[in-house]
């Protein structure tokens, strides 16, 4: 059974920090349902593992890692909650769905940071291309400044770490 946006948000709410210090925006939950905030998942999931490495944390369980993320004030938000990875190379369709859901993303970010001051890091090339300038123009504190942070999969892990770490450092986190 496919997960719904409500399901994804219910998973995330359990691990939302009281005070958000960093928002990481990814593309969407994966169609294979290995959702980032599902504590029953594996610590070896690409994005989860990469963010744990950024935190310098080696969790025994996924829940332990999610609690550490929460303790540090980091939160992952998806640009859309419609899994678009199933669209494969159909970049126009993927991007159209992200653009369609832009107002929903903005509303979520405004809830987390009403003054729009919380640092945001965008990951995955299309997310960076679509949202960097737009969120910045809407007053959000996007750290990318044109830096496209690779998604940490398919051999892109070293690029992810080389691009992501300086952005985190620039935020003083």
Q: Which pLDDT score, from 0 to 100, does residue 120 have?
A: 98
131: left (phi over 0), alpha (psi -120 to 50) or beta: alpha
Question: How does pLDDT run across 46-59, given as a tens digit for each residue?
Answer: 999 999 999 999 99
CB half-sphere exposure, 109, CA atoms < 13 A: 30
Express as a percent the part of the chain with pLDDT over 90: 79
> Whole-angstrom Cα distance, residue 171 to residue 173?
5
The average confidence (pLDDT) of the chain is 93
In this prediction, residues 16-22 reach a mean pLDDT of 96
CA 37, chain centre distance (Å): 11
In this prediction, residues 21-43 reach a mean pLDDT of 90
| pLDDT value at 1 more than 70 | no
Q: Which domains does the chain have, with CATH numbers?
A: 5-170 (3.40.470.10)
Helix or strand or coil: residue 78? Answer: strand
Question: How does pLDDT run across 48-98, given as a tens digit for each residue?
Answer: 999 999 999 999 999 999 999 999 999 999 999 988 876 666 778 889 999
Provide the token pair at 94: 């993927």
pTM over cut 0.75:
yes
Question: How does pLDDT run across 111-143, given as a tens digit for each residue?
Answer: 999 999 999 999 999 999 999 999 999 999 999
Q: Which residue has better confidence, 29 or 132?
A: 132
């Amino acid at each position: 059974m496919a997960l719904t946006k409500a399901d994804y948000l219910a998973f995330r709410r359990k691990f939302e920090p009281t005070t958000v210090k960093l928002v990481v925006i990814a593309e969407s939950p994966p169609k294979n349902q290995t959702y980032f905030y599902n504590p029953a998942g594996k610590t070896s999931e690409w994005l989860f593992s990469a963010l744990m490495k950024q935190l310098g944390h080696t969790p025994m369980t996924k829940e332990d890692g999610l609690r550490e993320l929460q303790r540090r004030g980091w939160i992952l938000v998806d640009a859309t909650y419609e899994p678009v990875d199933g669209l494969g190379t159909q970049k126009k369709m993927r991007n159209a769905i992200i653009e369609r859901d832009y107002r929903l993303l903005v509303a979520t970010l405004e809830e987390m940071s009403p003054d729009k001051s919380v640092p945001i890091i965008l990951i995955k090339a299309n997310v960076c291309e679509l949202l960097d300038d737009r969120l910045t123009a809407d007053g959000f504190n996007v750290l990318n400044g044109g830096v496209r942070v690779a998604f940490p999969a398919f051999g892109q892990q070293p690029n992810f770490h080389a691009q992501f770490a300086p952005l985190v450092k620039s935020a003083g986190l």
